[in-house]
Structure 1
Amino acid sequence: MRVYGPNGTTLGTPASTARKTSSGGFVLPEDETATAQETRAPVAPRTTTGIDVLLALQGIEEDPVERRKRSVQRGKGALEVLDDLKLRLLSGNLDQSMVGRLRDAATSLKSSSGDPGLDAVLSEIELRVEVELAKASQH
């Protein structure tokens, strides 16, 4: 009969030599104790980090309707940035913050919505943002 501990697990270190009881007839072999320790050795959990993992998890749990709504909002946001760019160009107030907003708008339009028609419209908006971004970076 083996007794490992209160929950059936061995918490101590393996014995380096065989133990004898007071009667002298029972001996615990070293190999069996070492094998029991090796099979119960804790394994550190694997950690995964990175933004890609988080985005992948969001994509798995995301409802298609919610993904479409977010894509529509990103498209509207990009159109607002383009409209603001037009107003700033007409008034002569183009600054570096506008270029940063254009970059952010272009980056946000890269993800797919799952709807082919919406994705086509978003890619056209993205192309226009990229053209304006290229124009702004030439100045």
Structure 2
Amino acid sequence: MRITDTNRTNRAAPKKVSKGRGEGDKFSVEQEKSTEQVRYAADVDSVGSVDALLALQSVEDPTLAKKKSVKRGHQLLDGLERLKTDLLVGRVSETRLQNMLKILKNAPTTDDPALKSVIDDIELRVQVELAKLDRL
């Protein structure tokens, strides 16, 4: 979940309580002030929680980076399969080559050395095939 608009606040203004003149009033002025102070302190806590949420958003999720790398590897392998089919037919699609170049340039990073090794091998194969067609 991403927070996009941080300027909006949902704080309600403290309500003004009219002071009664009757003898049956149980609340004094000091108690009303303490209620307003507590309400103000709760508003400050909510601002702190928004700051914490924004700080959490800036941290990259390691599983998300791994998923992006796996998805990119699958896209490159699919592109190689389509390229093989195009070569068998005798006509290579220009848009397919441009798409493979775009995927090759947008490389997400991952901390998993085994996954990085596999992705590097796939990238090398794509670079070789694109170099054969004078696209790299």
Which TM-score band (shorter chain)?
0.5 to 0.7
Q: Which amino acid aligns with 1:86?
A: K
Displacement of 1:106 in angstroms is: 1.4
Alignment counterpart, residue 135 of structure 1, candidates 123, 126, 132: 132
Contact 1:99 1:136 in 2 (8 A): no
Give the alignment of 1:65-84 within 5 angstroms: 65-84=63-82
Considering only CA atoms, is the larger Rg found in Structure 1 or Structure 2? Answer: 1
Identity %: 37
In 1: Cα distance, 2:66 partner to 2:108 partner = 11
In 1: Cα distance, 2:132 partner to 2:97 partner = 10
Q: Which residue in 2 is equivalent to 1:43?
A: none
In 1: Cα distance, 2:129 partner to 2:100 partner = 8
2:118 pairs with 1:121? yes
Structure with larger RCO (C-alpha < 8 A, sep 6+): 2
Aligned length: 79
Contact 2:65 2:110 in 1 (8 A): yes
Q: Which residue in 2 is equivalent to 1:36?
A: none
Where do 4+ consecutive residues of structure 1 move more than 2 Å? none
Q: Which amino acid aligns with 1:113?
A: T
Question: What TM-score does the superposition give when structure 2 sets the normalisation length?
Answer: 0.53
Q: Which residue in 1 is equivalent to 2:86?
A: 88
Q: Which amino acid aligns with 1:93?
A: R
Give the alignment of 1:12-31 within 5 angstroms: none
My pick for the range that moved more, 86-95 or 96-105, is 96-105
Task: Supply the RMSD in Å over aligned alpha carbons.
Answer: 1.8
Higher helix share: 2
Q: Structure 1: which 5+ runs fail to align?
A: 1-59
Contact 1:99 1:137 in 2 (8 A): no
Q: Structure 2: which 5+ runs fail to align?
A: 1-57
Deviations 1:91-125 (A, max 9, x none): 112032122022112113x3321100000000000
Question: What TM-score does the superposition give when structure 1 sets the normalisation length?
Answer: 0.52
